Each structure stands twice: as structure tokens, then as C-alpha cells.
């Protein structure tokens, strides 16, 4: 057989006839690896010929991959249709955020409804897993566990006469495959392990959940190809110093990709917050200056959050500007607009702004609440007790409408807020200043 060498990118899978320092497709550096292929078919040498033939889609039975419940109603709603047989799910999150706890609860839920779940851990021993399951009160006859760092053990579980309905691999960076070189966690190993497990679960109908480590930038470690290989990508986020956790969908082939579920960490594990609308407010004192309530929308859910601001005289040559829960650059932009359009002299003040409750949001509708909180602290006057804000501020000081306006308005009415400040109620920052403080 005549063969040739080609170079494949470990990040995006693009091919190149010759080696280059930079991938021509994804522009990553030093990601091209040589593989030997057949000149005629360009298939990797040693790959078995496929016996599958194309089939008409209309002849396929629609009930071949009917989803089943996960045992957790909120997770079913998040995924769109529960757990789909043969689906591959990738779960990422910071260390210690609660990924293993959540998946152990999911495995126990599957066992309680009569399904078999196997928890394969490459990070913990079986006694450690049992101790955690006992603490969470999750032990049951259908909950199986395996401690291993070899992908062959996971494949053996899938090749058994009665493969499990759910296989959890915690984590993919700790599993090694003999089909690839390098240490566990390397790009080649992560790609090989994931490819073998995903291919096998597609054939057996087992739902696969892979746990992925994250980098210091918050991205899931390993090749970007990993996120393309799976059907669903979930991300568990939150501050370990707070009890709240948010499970977010980043990609979903079987349902919506903009949903989320709010959890709170309890002694028995993660507990779903059924109505998160006011969960992040806590014990709010509306009589203090520098606080404003905003209705933020994340996914399809409106949240009432408190935005706090502190404007104090600075004794530094360069005043401090600090933001927690949203982008500091956005705070600087809003301050520049306030100085330009309302003639507020903020150059001699330290300004701090944060979203309380440990929530982080990129919703542009928070702009109006941030501006209102800053003005309240600057004038040292509290805002109306039941006031609520949402709207985006442009560079001309205009208040622009934001997405999900009707959803926010309905939620504000349900919670009994008044006055309600948005783009139609106060079109400019001058109008906002007049409504709140009676100043021109």
C-alpha cells in the first residue's frame, strides 16, 4: 500500500500537506502533527474499512433514541429532553465548584428510577467515592463505581452484555489511551480518549458525561475539537465563597442553548432553586444610598439583582475604578458618559461598583442600574424603595431598549416594583436624573 504523510491540527482537525508552525485554519501555533495515510483513500493507515452504507432518513424509526428523564426535573428542562441514549455531554467548571457532587447526585437519581449508572473516577479512590456518597446520602443498589486511569476499563464497561444507561468519566484529563502518545491530559491523549468513548457510546446507546478541567482563563482544557465532538456542553460556575451555583448550557443539539439552572450548595449536595427571581437579592436595605435593583436576564430567566456603588473622595493621583460581577471597561465607559452628558465631575473620586450575591453577568441591561447606583452614591440620596432599572446606555447618553423587555416588565409587575425605569420611561440620562433626583 502506497502511503504518504499529512499534517493534522490537534485543535480544529484541519489538514495540511506540509508542516507549518501555524495552523492555516484556526491560527493556533505548533498544533500540526504528522499522520500516515493511504494515498488513494486518505484514510489513516491501519483503519478498518467501514461496512456501513447510507440509509434513507425517512426509513429510520423515530423511537430509536427516545430520551429518558434524568431524575432531576430542572436538569431535564435544561437539556431540553432529558438524557438522550448515545449522547455525549461535556461538563466544565472551576476546581471545587461542585462538578463531582452534581454528577454523583445525577448518577444516584438514575439508580433510583431503575437505570444503571457507572461513575468512573480517575481522581478519587473507591473509598473516597463511598465516603462522599454516604455524606450526601446517595448510596443505592444501582449506583456503580470504578476507579481507573485507563480508557480500556471504560470501554470494557461499554462492551459488557448489559451496558449501563449512564457512564460518567471524571475527568477526561486523567484517562490515558494506548492509541496516543503523551501523558494523560495532553492534547493528543484527550482527543484520543474522547474519540474512543464517544464512538463506543454512539453504538451502545449509553449516555456519556465527560468532566473537563478548565484553564486559568476559564476555558475547558484540551483541544477545541473536544467541544465539537460532544452533543452538549455544560458549564458550572459560581464563587466558592458563596453558596450559589449556576449550571449553564453553552451548546446543545437536543434543546435550547441559552438555558440555565440555579443551585445552592447544601450539606446534602446541590439543591435546585425553584424560583431564582429574587434569590440573589438577599437581605437588601433600600433606604441606603448607592444601591439600585436591576432585572437582568440570563438565558430565558429574569433575575432581580442588587447593584451597589460607592463614590468616595480620592487621595490618589489616579483614582481607583473597580467593578465586581461585570466588566471594568464597561464601568469606565459609563463613567465617561456621565461626565460628558451630565457634567458630573468624577475625576477626583474613587468609584467601586459590584453585583451583590456573587452573581456575574454580561447583560447590557445592567447599565441603567449601574448608572443609577453611582448617581445615588454621588448625591448621597437613596433611590425610591421599589424602583427597578434595565436599559443599555450608549455613548450619547441615550437609554436603548434591551432584549426580553416584555419578560422583564412582566416580572417587575409580578414583584410589585414602582417606578419602573427603562428605555421608554426615561429615554436619556437627563430624564433619569430628573426623575430620581429632580436635577437638570
**Quick one: pLDDT band at residue 33, thresholds 50, 70, 90?**
confident
pLDDT at residue 4 tops 70: no
- Annotated binding residue 82: no
Note whether 265 and 165 are same-domain residues: yes
- Which pTM was predicted? 0.75
As given in the structure block, the three cell numbers for residue 125 are 479512590
CATH of the domain at 395: 3.30.230.10
Annotated binding residue 109: no
**Is 93 marked as binding a ligand?**
yes
438 labelled binding-site residue: no
Residue 279 counted as domain residue = no
Buried b (16+ CB within 10 A) or exposed e, 271-286: eebeebbebbeeebee
In whole angstroms, what is the distance from residue 350 CA to residue 335 CA?
11
Evaluate if residue 258 carries a pLDDT over 80: no
Q: Which three cell numbers stand for residue 333?
A: 465607559
Asked if residue 295 and residue 268 are part of one domain, the reply reads no
Q: Look at residue 145 and tell me if it is in a domain.
A: yes
- Judge whether 30 lies within some domain: yes
Show the cell assigned to 404: 426580553
- Going by the DSSP 8-state scheme, the letter that residue 25 receives in this structure is T
Say what the pLDDT of residue 117 is.
93
Check whether 92 is labelled as a binding-site residue.
no
Residue numbers of the domain that contains 119: 69-274
Tell me: the pLDDT tens digits for 425-439? 999 999 999 989 887
Residue 172 lies in a domain: yes
Same domain, 269 and 320: no
Distance CA 357, CA 325 (A): 9
> Cell numbers 495540511 label which residue?
16
Does residue 390 lie in a domain region?
yes
98 is in an annotated binding site: yes
Q: Which of 274, 303, 327 is the last residue of a domain?
A: 274
100 known ligand binder: yes
- Per the domain annotation, does 52 fall within a domain? no
pLDDT at 62: 62
Rounded-to-integer distance, Cα 5 and Cα 17, Å: 8
In this structure, are 357 and 412 located in the same domain? yes
Q: Last residue of some domain: 211, 246, 274?
A: 274
pLDDT value of residue 52: 62
347 known member of a binding site: no
Per-residue pLDDT at 368 exceeds 90: yes
Number of domains in the chain: 3
- Pairing mode, strands 301-313 and 392-393: unpaired
What's the confidence (pLDDT) of residue 53?
Answer: 74
> What is the tens place of the pLDDT at every residue in 131-172?
999 999 888 888 899 999 999 999 999 998 889 999 999 989
Q: Is residue 136 part of a domain?
A: yes
What's the rounded mean pLDDT across residues 79-83?
87
* CA–CA dist 426, 353 (Å, integer): 22
Write out the three cell numbers for 173.
Answer: 484529563
| 142 plus 33 within the same structural domain | no
C-alpha cell at 196: 474512543
Note whether 263 and 310 are same-domain residues: no
Residues 114 and 143 in one domain: yes
> If you write DSSP's letter for every residue of 294-332 in order, what string do you get?
EEEEETTEEEEEEEEEEEEE--SSS--EEEESS-HHHHH
The residue from 223, 240, 274 where one domain ends is 274
Same domain, 339 and 428: yes
Contacts of 229 (CB under 8 A, 6+ apart): 88, 194, 195, 198
Question: What are the distances in angstroms from CA 322 to CA 193, 217, 328, 365?
Answer: 43, 20, 6, 19
Amino acid at each position: 500500500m502506497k502511503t504518504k504523510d499529512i499534517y493534522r491540527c490537534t485543535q480544529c482537525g484541519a489538514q495540511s500537506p506540509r508542516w507549518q508552525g501555524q495552523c492555516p485554519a484556526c491560527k493556533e501555533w505548533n498544533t500540526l502533527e504528522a499522520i500516515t495515510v493511504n494515498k488513494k483513500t486518505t484514510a489513516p493507515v491501519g483503519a478498518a474499512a467501514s461496512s456501513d452504507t447510507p440509509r434513507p432518513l425517512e426509513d429510520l424509526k423515530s423511537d430509536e433514541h427516545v430520551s429518558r428523564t434524568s431524575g432531576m426535573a430542572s436538569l431535564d428542562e435544561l437539556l431540553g429532553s432529558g438524557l438522550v441514549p448515545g449522547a455525549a455531554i461535556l461538563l466544565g467548571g472551576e476546581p471545587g465548584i461542585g462538578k463531582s457532587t452534581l454528577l454523583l447526585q445525577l448518577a444516584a437519581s438514575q439508580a433510583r428510577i431503575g437505570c444503571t449508572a457507572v461513575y468512573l473516577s480517575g481522581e478519587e479512590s473507591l473509598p473516597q467515592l463511598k465516603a462522599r456518597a454516604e455524606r450526601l446520602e446517595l448510596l443505592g443498589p444501582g449506583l456503580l463505581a470504578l476507579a481507573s486511569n485507563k480508557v480500556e476499563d471504560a470501554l470494557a464497561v461499554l462492551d459488557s452484555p448489559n451496558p449501563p444507561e449512564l457512564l460518567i468519566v471524571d475527568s477526561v484529563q486523567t484517562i490515558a489511551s494506548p492509541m496516543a502518545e503523551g501523558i494523560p491530559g495532553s492534547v493528543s491523549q484527550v482527543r484520543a480518549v474522547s474519540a474512543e468513548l464517544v464512538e463506543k457510546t454512539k453504538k451502545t446507546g449509553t449516555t456519556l458525561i465527560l468532566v473537563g478541567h478548565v484553564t486559568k482563563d476559564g476555558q475547558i482544557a484540551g483541544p477545541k475539537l473536544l467541544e465539537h465532538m460532544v452533543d452538549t456542553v455544560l458549564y458550572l460556575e459560581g464563587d466558592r465563597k458563596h453558596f450559589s451555583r449556576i449550571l449553564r448550557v453553552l451548546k446543545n443539539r437536543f434543546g435550547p442553548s441559552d438555558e440555565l439552572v440555579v443551585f445552592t450548595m447544601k450539606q446534602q449536595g446541590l439543591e435546585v432553586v425553584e424560583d431564582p427571581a429574587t434569590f440573589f437579592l438577599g437581605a437588601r436595605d433600600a433606604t441606603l444610598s448607592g444601591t439600585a435593583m436591576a432585572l437582568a436576564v440570563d438565558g430565558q430567566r429574569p433575575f432581580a439583582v442588587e447593584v451597589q456603588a460607592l463614590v468616595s473622595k480620592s487621595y490618589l493621583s489616579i483614582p481607583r475604578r473597580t467593578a465586581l460581577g461585570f466588566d471594568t471597561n464597561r464601568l469606565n465607559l459609563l463613567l465617561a458618559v456621565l461626565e460628558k452628558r451630565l457634567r458630573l465631575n468624577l475625576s477626583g473620586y474613587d468609584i467601586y461598583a459590584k453585583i451583590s450575591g456573587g452573581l456575574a453577568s454580561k447583560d447590557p441591561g445592567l447599565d441603567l442600574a449601574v448608572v443609577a447606583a453611582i448617581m445615588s452614591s454621588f448625591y448621597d440620596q437613596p433611590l425610591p424603595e421599589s424602583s427597578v432599572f434595565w436599559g443599555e446606555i450608549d455613548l450619547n447618553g441615550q437609554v436603548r431598549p434591551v432584549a426580553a423587555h416584555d419578560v422583564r416588565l412582566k416580572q417587575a409587575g409580578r414583584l410589585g416594583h414602582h417606578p419602573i425605569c427603562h428605555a421608554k420611561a426615561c429615554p436619556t440620562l437627563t430624564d433619569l436624573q430628573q426623575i430620581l433626583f429632580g436635577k437638570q
